[in-house]
Amino acid sequence: MKKIYLFCSAGMSTSMLAKKMQDVADAHGLDAQIAAFSNNKVGEMVDREHPDCILLGPQVGFMFDDINEKYGESAPVGVIDTGDYGSMNAERVLKYSIVLMKKFAAK
Nearest CA-CA partner of 68 in 58, 82, 79: 79
Query: What pLDDT score was predicted for residue 13?
Result: 84
Q: Which residue among the candidates 4, 8, 46, 90 is catalytic per the annotation? A: 8
Residue-range domains of the chain with CATH: 2-105 (3.40.50.2300)
Residues in the chain: 107
Active site residue 53: no
Q: What is the DSSP annotation of 68-89?
A: HHHHTTTS-EEE--HHHHHTT-
Full-model pTM: 0.96
Distance CA 64, CA 56 (A): 7
Mean pLDDT of the chain: 96
- pLDDT tens digits, 19-37: 999 999 999 999 999 999 9
Please list the alpha-helical segments (H only) found in 1-107.
Answer: 12-27, 42-49, 64-71, 82-86, 90-105
